[in-house]
Amino acid sequence: MTRRTATLVTSILVLVFSLGLVTVFAVPFVSFSPGPVRDTLGDTKGKPVIEVTGHQTYPTTGVLDLTTVSVTSPDRELTLPQAMRNWLDPHHDLFPRDIIYPPDQSADEVEQQNTAEMTGSQDSAVAAALQEAGVPYNPMVSSVSPDSPADGQLKAGDVILKVDGVVAKLVPQVGDLVRKNKVGDEVTFLVRRGGKEQTVVVKAAAAPDDPTRPMVGINVGVYSAVKVSISLGQDIGGPSAGTAFALAIYDKLTPGPLLDGKHIAGTGTIDALGQVGAIGGIQQKIAGAKEDGATVFLVPGPNCEAALHSGVKDIRLVKITTLNEAIGALTALASGTGDVPACTP
């Protein structure tokens, strides 16, 4: 073998070896791509996604999709070729891994956080929908954080009647009333437990993220004669489906089909007062909605600018900031009259 041939063969072997390393070694990124959608007014595995009991319900028509993003799982790593394919796809995004999965969190902790956020979004959606539909409810302790001031004092299922002598009619009022105290103050709760009223006193502690903010360590949900169960039929985490849940619950509780047979999709967090918040992955969610056949997409106001750059054609982007505004926009779309706020450049 001549020196020239040996050099060529060596170069080819080095190249092949290098390419092999490239396909094996991971890069510190995760991908965002369009995820599955779920019709919140439909069924999954023969069971309604959202089931309302204890109150008259009304027929609905149309499709109301919650949208999701498929994210590289915390126990999986991308190789350079995989990252490049995602980077070249207009409906995919890459983000530094440490932003999505903080190094100080395990995969189980990330999953637990996503599950907790989904549960919280459902509680807020129920409260917002009941309030918008004019259905009365009481705040209720939905969970108590271990080793918090309320641990052993308040219990999940306690119906909160008053905080420091003030009647609590809405979920957010409970937190507002607690925060009127100072760290170390005693907070007095009047609750109904097992059909009996009783007073529970809890000493407020400092919140982990703010030493000046008092907290007692409870999550607050809804107690009502109206029972809402949500069954997605698959693991979906995070808070971004809250607005879709609230709209579907409201549609079932009120006369007349809100969508009038249209195929609507959307996203957005929601709080118990019906305020719609921003989410991540808006461009991937719009792409997934369009692929499923949606003609209208409900966009949280802060996400409008990014939504306009999704590259998805022939889908109407409707700007929403509250549940009431979303209901108004859908009503206007159904009737063909009225104002429909749009995402504009």
Number of domains in the chain: 2
Tokens linked to 266: 């959307």
* Residue 342 covered by a domain: no
197 and 300 together in one domain: no
116 and 247 together in one domain: yes
Give tens-digit pLDDT for 238-272. Answer: 889 999 999 999 999 999 999 999 999 999 999 98
44 and 160 together in one domain: no
218 and 230 together in one domain: no
User: For residue 261, what are the CA distances in angstroms to 95, 254, 291?
Assistant: 37, 16, 18
Give tens-digit pLDDT for 135-147. Answer: 989 999 989 999 9
Last residue of a domain, one of 186, 208, 223: 223
Please name the residue that has the structure tokens 């309320």. Answer: 150
pLDDT at 284 over 90: yes
155 and 210 together in one domain: yes
pLDDT at 170 over 50: yes
Identify the three-state secondary structure at position 239.
coil
Q: Are 256 and 330 in contact (CB under 8 A)?
A: no
> How confident is residue 18, by pLDDT bands cut at 50, 70 and 90?
very low
pLDDT at 5 over 60: no
Local structure of residue 303 (DSSP, 8 states): G
Tokens linked to 302: 């802060």
pLDDT at 157 over 90: yes
Which one is predicted more confidently, 224 or 17? Answer: 224
Q: Domain holding 162: CATH number? A: 2.30.42.10
Q: Measured at the alpha carbon of residue 280, what is the angle toward residues 128 and 236, in degrees to the nearest 5?
A: 65
Last residue of a domain, one of 223, 258, 278: 223
235 and 322 together in one domain: yes
Residue 175 confidence (pLDDT): 94
The C-alpha R_g of the chain, in whole angstroms, comes to: 25
204 and 268 together in one domain: no
216 and 321 together in one domain: no
**Phi-psi label, residue 256: left if phi above 0, alpha if psi -120 to 50, beta otherwise:** left
Give tens-digit pLDDT for 91-124. Answer: 777 778 887 778 877 777 777 777 788 888 898 9
Domain that includes residue 39, residue range: 29-132+225-335
Mean of all residue pLDDT scores within the chain: 88
Tokens linked to 298: 């409900």
Closest residue by Cα to residue 199 from 235, 154, 232: 154
Kindly state the helix (H) or strand (E) to which residue 188 belongs, with its residue range: strand 186-193
> How confident is residue 17, by pLDDT bands cut at 50, 70 and 90?
very low
> How confident is residue 30, by pLDDT bands cut at 50, 70 and 90?
confident
* Residue 266 covered by a domain: yes
pLDDT at 27 over 80: no
> How confident is residue 7, by pLDDT bands cut at 50, 70 and 90?
low
234 and 330 together in one domain: yes
> How confident is residue 87, by pLDDT bands cut at 50, 70 and 90?
low
Which one is predicted more confidently, 37 or 30? Answer: 37
pLDDT at 154 over 60: yes
Last residue of a domain, one of 208, 223, 238: 223
